[in-house]
């Protein structure tokens, strides 16, 4: 019992929070996930990213509402997706790829941009075997993982205060 009492100040003193506790910038109680544009040739990236953001914010306990009812709306553009081969077999066929996803996001309230993150980047490596169906599944898993990682990063930026316009254009990999 004494150990637990000694541990409590460390947990609460360092900013530790339990998962699911909503944390948005001051004055925001709800958020909307708005429209996303897909400027790439890869289909469904916009809906994949929107779904990942909805799941992340819901998981964290943030109320998601329609744009007209929201304190702010998160919207964005999928700017680029690229696939670079990393490893080859003895017949010079690619067996491993690195996918790179780049998006621009902004948080808007009453047509005013509160935060803008340009060039937010995620990467994921995946293997292929020469089977079209299995290779497409591996690629889809990589795309979902990048969308999920990006959604988590966006939530954490908002929850930790790294959402001010002056800090908005860093990338992660």
Per CATH, the homologous superfamily of domain 22-167 is Lipoprotein like domain (3.30.160.150)
* Residue-by-residue pLDDT tens, the chain, 173 positions: 545 444 545 444 444 444 545 467 667 889 999 999 999 999 999 999 999 999 999 999 999 999 999 999 999 999 999 999 999 999 999 999 999 999 999 999 988 998 888 999 999 999 999 999 999 999 999 999 999 999 999 999 888 876 554 333 334 44
Instruction: List the 31-38 sheet strands across, edge first.
Output: 31-38, 72-88, 94-109, 112-127
CA 64, distance to chain mean position in Å, is 16
- The two three-digit tokens of residue 154, written as one number: 């966006």
Q: pTM for the complete prediction?
A: 0.79
- How far apart are the C-alpha atoms of 83 and 100, rounded to whole Å? 7
Residue-level pLDDT at 3:
55
* Extents of the domains making up the chain: 22-167
């Amino acid at each position: 019992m004494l150990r637990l009492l000694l541990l409590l100040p460390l947990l609460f003193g360092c900013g530790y929070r339990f998962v699911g506790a909503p944390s948005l910038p001051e004055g925001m109680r709800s958020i909307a996930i708005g429209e996303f544009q897909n400027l790439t040739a890869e289909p469904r990236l916009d809906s994949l990213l929107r779904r990942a953001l909805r799941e992340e914010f819901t998981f964290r306990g943030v109320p998601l509402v329609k744009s007209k009812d929201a304190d702010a709306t998160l919207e964005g553009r999928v700017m680029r997706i690229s696939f670079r081969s990393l490893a080859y077999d003895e017949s010079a066929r690619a067996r491993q790829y690195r996918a790179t996803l780049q998006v621009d996001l902004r948080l808007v309230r009453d047509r005013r941009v509160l935060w803008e993150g340009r060039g937010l980047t995620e990467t994921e490596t995946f293997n292929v075997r020469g089977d079209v169906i299995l290779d497409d599944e591996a690629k889809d898993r990589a795309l979902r993982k990048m969308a999920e990682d990006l959604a988590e990063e966006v939530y954490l930026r908002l929850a930790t205060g790294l959402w001010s316009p002056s800090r908005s254009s860093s990338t992660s990999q």
